Structure 1
């Protein structure tokens, strides 16, 4: 699977985990140079608190376009620190 935004592959892995229709990419599969941590957090009743990254690619920013669970609940330990995308990021095989 590949995550693509603004013409660049920002993550690539054949070991994503699909949860609720979203592909979660292993932390080692993301291209860190495109990711910037933000102060945004949301809460999922069964996965726990999510943290967010903004993407910076080719001079453009996509705020809070990626999220992950740094301390996932017991029910979601299999995706702890894995990264998922939305807000215009295309995920394809």
Structure 2
């Protein structure tokens, strides 16, 4: 699967079996993400069951990706595995096969 910008730029790519789906969002393993296209932002968010999120601008688009660098360990049971550092995308970043 790929996370792709509207101009065709591939932000992340990995087999579906390596991704994790949480609450309808596909999370890509850290090694599959093109870090050169991501820039940390200061947007604060803490999920009540996952923990503190880190948001990213994607190729200049504010807060189009997020990750949980150190999720609450209790969330691993709910998700089924450790998803620390996995990255999800939204809005102008489409996840496609």
Per the normalisation by structure 2, the TM-score is 0.86
RMSD over aligned CA atoms reads: 1.1
Query: What are structure 2's unaligned runs of at least 5 residues?
Result: 77-81
Aligned to 1:22: 25
Give the structure 1 partner of residue 79 of structure 2: none
Residue in structure 1 matched with residue 38 of structure 2 by the alignment: 35
The answer for unaligned runs of 5 or more in structure 1 is none
Q: 1: distance between equivalents of 2:61 and 2:8?
A: 13
User: What's the secondary structure of 2:31's corresponding residue?
Assistant: helix
Moved beyond 6 Å, runs of 4+: none
Q: Which residue of structure 1 aligns with residue 90 of structure 2?
A: 86
The aligned residue for residue 3 of structure 1 is 3
1:73 correspondence with 2:72: yes
Q: TM-score, normalised by structure 1?
A: 0.89
